[in-house]
Structure 1
Amino acid sequence: MNFDLIKAVIELVQQFMEQNESEALYSNDLHGFMEWINSSYKNTSESADPSWIGKESGRSSDSIINTLLIRMGRYAKTYSRSIGNSAFSSQDDFIYLIGLKTMGEMTKMELIRHNVHEKSSGILIINRLIHHGWVGQTVSEKDKRTKRIRITGKGLTVLDENMDEIRKASNVVVGNLTHSEQMLLITILSKLDDFHDSFYHMNLDARDLLDTAYKKLN
């Protein structure tokens, strides 16, 4: 008896039940399980390349990917405007707070780099959070020239009060992607993020940064 195969099937059934419990896209029976298998594990190698606007006239996949990523960012920014009844000036406010809550105390530059912001933009956001009393700052014991910041009790409270709306906006941005599609997207975006993060914070101007990235690809 092939116990590895049995184990694999049991794990698939468990994954199906967990996903279907939250999304309820399929009937909770053998027929629904088979539909889920066909949808989630179809052979993508046999699938045709997707179509996109301008493909026939020579628009590259690089171009459409850039455009789609920009559009997704703008959708997310639009949805975030409703969060907190204007308590937050922008989505950056609660993104910075979530970063501090998740990762703990850090220097200003560590937080700014984590959020892929230019120094000037990041400092404005941090100063705004300090003004509201949502974060506090102390002088680093290792380097008196460096200030470390942390989320305050007031910051945790405002974040907790609006977390349902933040989760709602995040859920809407993900849209109608299935669980397996979400996992694939996380894998792809993480790979892209690792590539860019490896050289993004070299204190280069935009032109040198572009040239560095291009050389790394070639």
Structure 2
Amino acid sequence: MSFDLIKSVVELVQQFMEQNEGKALYSNDLQGFTEWINSSCKNTSESIDPCWIGKESGRISDSIINTLLIRMGRYAKTYSRSIGNSVFSSQDDFIYLIGLKTMGAMTKMELIRHNVHEKSSGILIINRLIRHGWVEQTGSEKDKRTKHIQITEKGHTVLEENMDEIRKASNVVVGNLAHSEQMLLIAILSKLDEFHNSFYHMNLDTRNLLDIAYKRLR
């Protein structure tokens, strides 16, 4: 059985005990826990449409979602500036390092595409990481012309030294969302990411990319 699944179940049991403590809305056994789960799912699925600024005057959901996603990105960027006492030039530095640590060596373009950057911006970030000695270029065993980027021991060290702060920033960005809300948000954002990633890195100008994306919705 997956450890992540066991961890999620334990977290749910903990939420159940905390919410039920002193209220006795459900019996403290498997039946009560099951009833609580079913009630939580029902409340989530039957939730009413939220309110947002401008809704009454005709502002549609597409517009507010775009605005909120942009705002969340800016909040995350602000929190990341305090990480490592400015050892990182931007959050992109440690995001690239984490990507290489978890996924292994990649070509420059694979790494840039993974982080959804334009080529010019991604190259600047990679070059900066190379200058710091946090990543290095290595030749491919199959094709010597192909260069791979991989994290160095120095890169692992700087990540490890600042990982508590990185996790703290991530925790703050998630804010006051409950575990069930976090899982729902992951599912929704993953669905959106899959949709956009399927054509985002085509060699198209912005106008053509927008038209293709729009047609796929129809």
- Fold shared per TM-score above 0.5: yes
Per-residue Cα deviation, 1:151-200 (whole angstroms, up to 9, x for no partner): 00000000000000000000000000000000000000000000000001
Residues 45-56 of structure 1: pairs in structure 2 closer than 5 A: 45-56=45-56
Q: Partners in 1 of 2:52 and 2:13 — Cα distance?
A: 34
- 1:43 shift after superposition: 3.1
- 1:44 shift after superposition: 3.7
Q: Partners in 2 of 1:96 and 1:29 — Cα distance?
A: 46
Aligned position for 1:16: 12
- 1:83 shift after superposition: 0.2
Aligned position for 1:8: none
Which amino acid in 1 is paired with 2:139? V
CA RMSD of the aligned region, Å?
Answer: 2.5
Q: Partners in 2 of 1:113 and 1:28 — Cα distance?
A: 51
Which amino acid in 2 is paired with 1:208? N
Whether 2:93 is the aligned partner of 1:97: answer no
Q: Partners in 2 of 1:144 and 1:171 — Cα distance?
A: 42
Where 1:43 maps in the other structure, the secondary structure is: helix
Q: Partners in 2 of 1:170 and 1:26 — Cα distance?
A: 28
Where 1:199 maps in the other structure, the secondary structure is: coil
Aligned position for 2:180: 180
Which amino acid in 2 is paired with 1:62? D
Whether 2:215 is the aligned partner of 1:215: answer yes
The number of residue pairs the alignment matches comes to 206
- 1:145 shift after superposition: 3.1
Q: Partners in 1 of 2:167 and 2:8 — Cα distance?
A: 27
Which amino acid in 2 is paired with 1:126? I
Q: Partners in 1 of 2:44 and 2:105 — Cα distance?
A: 43
Which amino acid in 1 is paired with 2:21? S
- 1:30 shift after superposition: 4.7
Where 1:203 maps in the other structure, the secondary structure is: coil
- 1:138 shift after superposition: 1.2
- 1:26 shift after superposition: 5.8
Q: Partners in 2 of 1:172 and 1:145 — Cα distance?
A: 43
Which amino acid in 1 is paired with 2:13? M
Residues 2-41 of structure 1: pairs in structure 2 closer than 5 A: 14-19=10-15, 27=21, 30-31=24-25, 37=37, 40-41=40-41
Question: Structure 1 residues 90 and 39, CA, compared in 2 at 3 Å: closer, same or farther?
Answer: farther
Could you tell me which runs of 5 or more consecutive residues in structure 1 were left unpaired when the two chains were aligned.
1-10
Aligned position for 2:124: 124
Q: Provide TM-score, normalisation by structure 2.
A: 0.86
Q: Partners in 2 of 1:157 and 1:28 — Cα distance?
A: 46
Bigger shift: 164-173 or 33-42? 33-42
Question: Structure 1 residues 20 and 164, CA, compared in 2 at 3 Å: closer, same or farther?
Answer: farther
Question: Structure 1 residues 14 and 84, CA, compared in 2 at 3 Å: closer, same or farther?
Answer: closer
Residues 40-79 of structure 1: pairs in structure 2 closer than 5 A: 40-79=40-79
Question: Structure 1 residues 188 and 137, CA, compared in 2 at 3 Å: closer, same or farther?
Answer: same
Q: Partners in 2 of 1:53 and 1:165 — Cα distance?
A: 33
Q: Partners in 2 of 1:128 and 1:61 — Cα distance?
A: 39
Whether 2:114 is the aligned partner of 1:138: answer no
Bigger shift: 167-176 or 11-20? 11-20
Where 1:148 maps in the other structure, the secondary structure is: strand
